A and B are shown apart, each in its own frame.
Chain A
Amino acid sequence: MDSATSDARTPLGAAADNGLKIVVVGGFGVGKTTLVRSVSEIRPLNTEETMTKAGEAVDDISEVRGKSATTVAFDFGRITLDARNVLYLFGAPGQERFWFLWDRLFSGTLGAVVLVDTRRIGDSWYAIDRLEHHGTPFVVACNDFGGPAYTPRQIREALDLDPHVPLLDCDARSRASAKQVLISLVEHVKGSYGTQGPARLQVPVPHQELAL
């Protein structure tokens, strides 16, 4: 079956029974695939979903034939957490015209990482709007592309970020840094669900504030 030419697939253990999802979202070239690659146990794979223009998953192939459908590519990686739990990381484009991709494909997600390049902060506004709208917990991670060094406060203001949302900096190329971003997200998620009251009353302390 598996030919020598295909990538050696790393199969999951027989007891694996619970898939979890985290979405990494952000503008073009902000480092989504790099972050996924840094922590994934498999080479990131690429796949696609076909949607009607109205944003529905195609439910009649005639829509594909009639070209009223559009295709969105996304990539993903995988982390085996333990014998039963497997975490999938999805890198998804953050542009407005892809909103249906997140709405349709990422329901039930644990949370999201919004990657931000401080030279193009506005690229992440739309993603943040959508996540807030959905009530999906998220953290914001700033990649250092050598842009101007803003203070965390300046970045929070520019993003109009709720005070409870963790803001970190990261180097998506570094496994340790990418891992820390994911840990911060899951801690944040835990904190958000951990209390009866609204999540925004929680003020988790970010692990790594931006350098001033």
Chain B
Amino acid sequence: MPALVVWIGIDHCGDSLPSRRFCFVQERATIETIWNGLKEAIRLIVSQDPALFEILLLSLRVSGTALLFSTLIGVPLGAVMGLSRFIGRRFLIALLYTGMGFPPVVVGLFVYLMLSRNGPLGQLDWSIIPNLFTPAAMVVAQCIISFPLVAGFTMAAVMGVDPALRQQVQAMGATRWQTTVAILSEARVGVIVSVIAGFGSIISEVGAVMMVGGNIEHRTRMLTTAIVLETGKGNFDLALAIGVILLAISFITNVAMLYLQGKGFDE
């Protein structure tokens, strides 16, 4: 009878403890499960299920904070790399491109090692260095994932602006700073896209937050890690509900950005 069989491998033990062991089970999902799941998803969303909203809010908070920091670092960095020529620029670009394609799990591993109690940063015991399995640790990891994307796309956008514009703006009396602002403003669509890309890369990312956050209920459970968990427990409806929310978030973000983009043109 089941027309579609989905084989799913998941972490089944990471429910309450930051898990050390990974064990895999296999469950069967049918078309019917998916259909029921979608209906349940809508019910959970419409009824504003508290468990779901807690996870949603934490995800938005963590990814939003990470995005804020990576925008603050990435846009100026991308602008400088796009606008100026300096020694070591090519090398920096190569590093940036590598960072743009970095697997989140590897970033997770790296942050995990740095922040763990015996790690280079964990040892320092400074208050600004976050502990593992906290939202702050997840912010750090997501920041590292997203800022190369923001910087890389910003750089490309800035480099795409007609190079003759710089002198023409200066000829109208722009200072160095006003010239930079004018070029960034010409590249605004690309800069907005860089921020969207940065957000997209972290809101849907699971590897890093799983490793440094640990998927702890009420503390570090994010939308993506919750999907992994609920699927493993066979709660396809909840998993799907979260999936639908994730899709909705990206859709809304993109629509909002496109709208802002459109506004930039006419004044």
Partners in one complex: no
What is the interface of chain B, defined by CB distance below 8 A to chain A?
A: none
